[in-house]
Structure 1
Amino acid sequence: MHLNQLDKLAIEVETEVQPVYREIEARAMDNHARVLEGFHRARVADYHLRGTTGYGYNDAGREALETVYAHIFGAEAALVRGQIVSGTHAIALALFGLLRPGDELLAVQGSPYDTLEELIGKRGNAPGSLRELGVGYRQVELTPEGTLDWQAIEQGLNEKTRVVLVQRSRGYAWRPSLTLDQLKKLITFIKTKSSRALVFVDNCYGELVDMLEPPAIGADLAAGSLIKNPGGGLAPTGGYVVGRRELVEMAANRLTAPGIGGEVGPSLGHQRLLFQGIFLAPHTVAEALKGAVFVARLFERLGFKVSPSYDEPRSDIIQSIALETPERLVAFCQGLQAASPVDAHALPEPDYMPGYEDDVIMAAGTFVQGASIELSADAPLRKPYAVYLQGGLSKEYVRLGVLSAARKVLQVKG
């Protein structure tokens, strides 16, 4: 395709995807209403927006924010802290809080996201992994079609199974994300087959995409990062754990110490940003979803395989594009980086990243380091050389960034 034809194609695509945009806007309206109701129930006031220091005893703002999160997520309780540095950290708090020596962790979608493998002890020899602490691990593979294998899951559950790990997003895998209907069916299935197993959901990238969250449909615990969906592009750091009250407290004991739990932890100077971020999150997530829809249709029209298709139901903000060669993969990330507001002059190259098995390339010219909700793309260098795009503070920015990436891709020969 001649490069100036790309702009014409973008105009056609923008018109074509309007019906999908309207569906996203309708869900965003419902989610915004739920968020606003959470603010009203917590009686959020001006003084809640100010931070505390030191131990953070009696931090009314922190307590109000966690009340808001609990309502939004349909949970009994929430732990929402700037001291949680990433989604992996939040997941670690949950798993180390729930599991004891002799217990077993069962993953039901094959290998979990790369950064969790060393935490579990599935790969590497990181000191303090679950394996080193005497926690067993098994996984059930997906079917060849990328769907849950119900018979294998039933066979995988046993008297040692304490936690079933469910990943809502696709991660670095060419497979569908788990929809809420599928998740609800899975939770019911597990609870029917095991009276002991707890269902824990890695909720990263899935928050506010649909109109309910995992705790509202029966998950015992869920966790994620504030520099993804729920931070609304404003949270400078942080993570959350939500679910049953006693289980949230077990995670809080891993964040601080047993006996202290969630009673300490200063909110410092970013409390207003955490409140304002979750308030804006339904709109920000909707913009990211519109951007993903545009990207999917654009690259479909350019002849590439994408997952999901532009008009398929979505359960996360991630858009996968199979670029088929490492040269195209690198070109895409470099083109996206060149359209970023920050570090646009940088030239991403594949390299080793802590926690990942393959070399990884990342494009992320973000205001908050690593903030996936702003607009970023990353990928391990392995077949099918798929790039995983996520985020977008505005659909206009996604369009500009992705057109820059597409131009670079189209310049690659072969």
Structure 2
Amino acid sequence: MSLKQLDKLATEVEAEVQPIYREIEARALVNHAKVLEGFHLARVADYHLRGTNGYGYNDPGREALEKIYAHVFGAEAALVRGQIVSGTHAIAIALFGLLRPGDELLAVQGSPYDTLEELIGKRGNVPGSLRDLGVSYQQVELTPAGLLDWTAIAQALSSKTKVVLVQRSRGYAWRPALTLPELKRLVEFVKERAPQAYVFVDNCYGELVDTAEPPSVGADLIAGSLIKNPGGGLAPTGGYVVGRKELVEMAANRWTAPGIGAEVGPSLGHQRLLLQGIFMAPHIVAEALKGAVFAARLFERLGFKVSPTYDEPRSDIIQSIALETPERLVAFCRGLQAASPVDAHVLPEPNYMPGYEDDVIMAAGTFVQGASLELSADAPLREPYAVYLQGGLSKEYVRLGVLSAARNVLKLQG
């Protein structure tokens, strides 16, 4: 396919997906109204935008930010801090807060995201893992269709089960993301059979995609990263834990120390960016979703298998494209990197990354290191050699990046 033909196809795709864009915009309006209401309830004023230093006692901006997060996520309390360095860190704080020696962690969607495997102790023998501290682990595989196996989950739940681990996004797996109606059914299913168990959700990539969040359908605790959806492309770092008040306190005690919990933690110079980021997040997430819809339909029209398809319901911002060979995978990431505003001259190479089992290739020419929401793509080098595209500060930027990636892939096909 010539460049002229590809540009023509892109124009056709853009026209074809307009009805899906309108649906995304309608959800973004609901979410933006909810965020704005949170700002009004917290009575955000100019002085909230200024940071604190040292211990960070009595930080009014931090308190306002956490009130907003609790409101937006439909929860009792929130811990939102710049000192949480990643989604994995936020998840670790939550799990180590909830679990004690002798407890059992149950994953119900097969193997969790790669970076959690060493944290749990499922892979490797890292000192301080949950397994090292006496927490047992079991997992239930998904059905061949990538859906929850209700019979197997019922058999796995027991009086030992303390935390049921749920992943909202598809991660590095060729399966559907978990929808909120499915999560609601799972919460009710677990509570009926193991009422002592907490349902914990890794909410990364799922924030503000729908008009509700996991606590609204019964999840006890959730966690995620501020350099993904809720940071709105502005947060320079940070993570959050949101849910039932007593459980957030347990996580906060692991974040700092028992007896200190959430009472400390200076906001430094980040406060305005974190507040402005959550304010912008509904719009930026909508732009990322539009970009994912465009990418799905373009590569579908080019003959590649994609998940989800452009018109399927979405529960995360990730778009999977099965490129089928390692060469195409590398070509896609290099093409996307070449369209980035930062480090466009860099050639991504597959390599080892801490926490991952396979070599990983990543395209991420971002203003904030690792900020998936800006526009990035990454993939482990394993079959079906699928690339996982996420983010986009504007749908126009996603279109430019995806076309650059597509041109690179098509060059391999002659």
TM-score, scaled to structure 2: 1.00
For residue 411 of structure 1, what is the amino acid of its counterpart? K
Aligned mates of 1:125, 1:84 — CA distance in 2: 24
Please say if 1:250 is aligned against 2:250.
Answer: yes
Please give the secondary structure, in 1, of the residue aligned with 2:224. strand
Instruction: Give how far 1:306 is off.
Output: 0.1
Render the CA deviation track for 1:158-184: whole Å, top value 9, x for unaligned: 111000000000000000000111111
Structure 2: gaps of 5 or more residues: none
Residue 25 of structure 2 aligns with which residue? 25
Aligned mates of 1:126, 1:132 — CA distance in 2: 8
Render the CA deviation track for 1:86-138: whole Å, top value 9, x for unaligned: 00000000000000000000000000000000000000111100000000000
Residue 322 of structure 1 aligns with which residue? 322
In the TM superposition, 1:12-411 aligns within 5 A as 12-411=12-411
Render the CA deviation track for 1:374-396: whole Å, top value 9, x for unaligned: 00000000000000000000000
Aligned mates of 1:143, 1:131 — CA distance in 2: 26
Aligned mates of 2:152, 2:54 — CA distance in 1: 49
Aligned mates of 1:131, 1:194 — CA distance in 2: 22
Render the CA deviation track for 1:296-337: whole Å, top value 9, x for unaligned: 000000000000000000000000000000000000000000
Structure 1: gaps of 5 or more residues: none
Please give the secondary structure, in 1, of the residue aligned with 2:412. coil
Instruction: Give how far 1:413 is off.
Output: 3.4
Please give the secondary structure, in 1, of the residue aligned with 2:130. coil
Number of aligned residue pairs: give it.
414
Of residues 186-195 and 301-310 in structure 1, the stretch that sits farther from structure 2 once superposed is 186-195
For residue 370 of structure 1, what is the amino acid of its counterpart? G
Residue 6 of structure 1 aligns with which residue? 6
For residue 391 of structure 1, what is the amino acid of its counterpart? G
Aligned mates of 1:56, 1:399 — CA distance in 2: 42
Instruction: Give how far 1:216 is off.
Output: 1.0
Render the CA deviation track for 1:352-380: whole Å, top value 9, x for unaligned: 00000000000000000000000000000
Aligned mates of 2:191, 2:400 — CA distance in 1: 46
For residue 79 of structure 1, what is the amino acid of its counterpart? L
Instruction: Give how far 1:252 is off.
Output: 0.3
For residue 165 of structure 1, what is the amino acid of its counterpart? L
Render the CA deviation track for 1:181-212: whole Å, top value 9, x for unaligned: 11111111111111111000000000000000
- Percent identity among equivalent residues? 85
Runs of 4+ with deviation above 4 angstroms = none
Aligned mates of 1:341, 1:140 — CA distance in 2: 42
Instruction: Give how far 1:287 is off.
Output: 0.1
For residue 281 of structure 1, what is the amino acid of its counterpart? A
Aligned mates of 1:171, 1:240 — CA distance in 2: 19
Please give the secondary structure, in 2, of the residue aligned with 1:411. helix
Instruction: Give how far 1:222 is off.
Output: 0.2
Aligned mates of 2:212, 2:195 — CA distance in 1: 25
Render the CA deviation track for 1:64-96: whole Å, top value 9, x for unaligned: 100000000000000000000000000000000
Aligned mates of 1:4, 1:185 — CA distance in 2: 48
Instruction: Give how far 1:4 is off.
Output: 1.9
RMSD across aligned C-alpha pairs, in angstroms? 0.6
Please give the secondary structure, in 2, of the residue aligned with 1:153. helix
For residue 24 of structure 1, what is the amino acid of its counterpart? I
Instruction: Give how far 1:251 is off.
Output: 0.4
Please give the secondary structure, in 2, of the residue aligned with 1:105. strand
